[in-house]
Structures are given as structure tokens and as C-alpha cells.
Amino acid sequence: MVNIAAIALPFVVVIILWFVSTGLVAMLNHRLRQSFGRALIIAGICAFGGLSLLVLTSHSTDVWAVYVSFLGGLMIWSWHEISFLTGAVAGSHRDPCPDGAKGWQRFSMATMALIHHEIAIAMTAGLLLSLAAVTANATGAYTFALLAIFRLSSKLNIYQGVPNMSDELLPAHLDYLKSYFGPRHLRPTLPLSIAAILGIALYFSYMAVQADTPHETVQAGLLCCLSLLAALEHFFFAIPFRDSRLWQWALDEPKEHKEI
């Protein structure tokens, strides 16, 4: 019989980390827009710290190690997010989409606008998963890989077009990316994406219930909640809700900065 607390605690941890980490990334990229070098240094420290946590917990199957490895995966992901939002790693094409661009031309230009970031994420995911294949605790690698899949799904849906798009988290120097957003209509790809992500969450929930050890239960619970949050973020694309309001505390400038 699975202990409910053993599954509930990972959900609480994921929600808190998701909320706080997204807010901190937004804060770095909006409040420190005049000192992106500092933001990149902080991101580099996060990446090094995250990788260190993955190495530290790689051969431990204790429950604490699963949580720490999950945190390490999030820290490495935050490094990629900050490097993208500062514009340090984006793509080779940084101009708005030309009027009238359609089909392959529009897709290729949109791809080139993000290509460096996508390659960096793919290489990192491949490296972490390769290392995870020879370790006892792959939570951090699985976390990063899932985030990469969910983010790619979000980008493809935004490119196709979604009814609702909160773009407040996108810094002003990346405004040209908005020209590649699709029309604000519901496309079949969005409900299909939500269904697929919910299927992944259902798989991890089954794994959590059927797990033989505490660390397997916690790992599956963490990944299940992460998948459910990704499905929620996709669902926000379909309803008139500005999810950026959740992180308004990170976007608001301090009063002393506004007066300058």
C-alpha cells in the first residue's frame, strides 16, 4: 500500500520550486536588464551548482538524494532559460518575420531565430541522459529531459497559434520573436499536446503507485507533478488567463528603480 504522504510531498515540492524558480528567472531578466553580465554569471553558478548536485547524488538511492537531484536538474535548466532570455544564446536570425512569409520560409526563419538555444538544450539533455545511464539516480537528467520536451511542445504550439498567449515574461530585446507567433486560434495540435502530456503524467502516477522502493515513488511523483504543471501551462494557452500574473512580484520594478 502506497503512503499518500510519500506521493503528496513531491507534489508540494515541485509546485514550490516551479513557482519560485520561474519567478527568479523572470526577475533576473527583467530587473537586471542593464547588467545581463551579472545575470549570466549567476546562471553559470546555478549550472555548476546543479551539475555538482547531480554528481553528488548520482549513486545514492536515498529519498533526499532524489529531491536534491531534481533540484540540480532545475538549476541546470534555469541556466539555459537565463542564457536565452538575456539573448546570449538564442539564434543566428534576430530580425522580425517578414510580412507575407509563409510555409517553409516562415518555419526556417523561426527555427534559425532559436537554433542555438535548441542545440544547447539538446546537447545538455543528451549528456545528462548518457551520464544517467550509468548512475543509480537519474532524477535530475529525467527532469531536464522532460522540461526540454515540454518546452519544445510549447514553442511548436505558439508557432502554430494559440488562443491565449502571455508574453510578458519575454524581455523587450526579444520582441522580434513575437512576429513568429501564430494567429490566436485554437489548433488541433494544442489539445493533442495536452492529451499527450497528461498521458505522460498518468504513466508516472502509475509508476509511483507501483514502485517497490521509496526513492522510486518519490522520483515518479516528482516527474508526475512536473508533467501536470506542463499540461496546465499548455491549458493556459487555451483560456483567457494571463499566467504571467502569477509572477508579477518578479516583474514589478522596485520603487527606487522606477524613480531613476
Neighbour tally for 3: CB within 10 Å? 10
Contact 47, 71 (CB under 8 A): no
* Position 120 pLDDT exceeds 90: yes
C-alpha cell at 197: 502530456
In what helix (H) or strand (E) does residue 253 lie, and over which residues does it extend? Answer: none
Q: How far apart are CA 125 and CA 139, in angstroms?
A: 12
Residue 211 Cα distances to 63, 65, 198, 216, 219, angstroms: 13, 17, 20, 6, 10
Pick the residue with more confidence: 148 or 101?
A: 148
Alpha helices for the chain (secondary structure H)? 4-31, 36-57, 63-85, 103-112, 115-132, 139-160, 189-210, 214-236, 248-251, 255-259
* pLDDT confidence of residue 39: 77
* pLDDT confidence of residue 175: 87
* Position 12 pLDDT exceeds 90: no
C-alpha cell at 1: 500500500
pTM to 2 decimals? 0.88
Q: What is the arithmetic mean of pLDDT over 223-233?
A: 93
Q: What is the mean pLDDT of the chain?
A: 86
Q: How far apart are CA 174 and CA 87, in angstroms?
A: 7
* Position 33 pLDDT exceeds 80: no
Lowest mean pLDDT among 37-51, 116-130, 149-163: 37-51
* Position 257 pLDDT exceeds 50: no
Q: What is the arithmetic mean of pLDDT over 197-208?
A: 95
* Position 78 pLDDT exceeds 80: yes
Contact 77, 51 (CB under 8 A): no
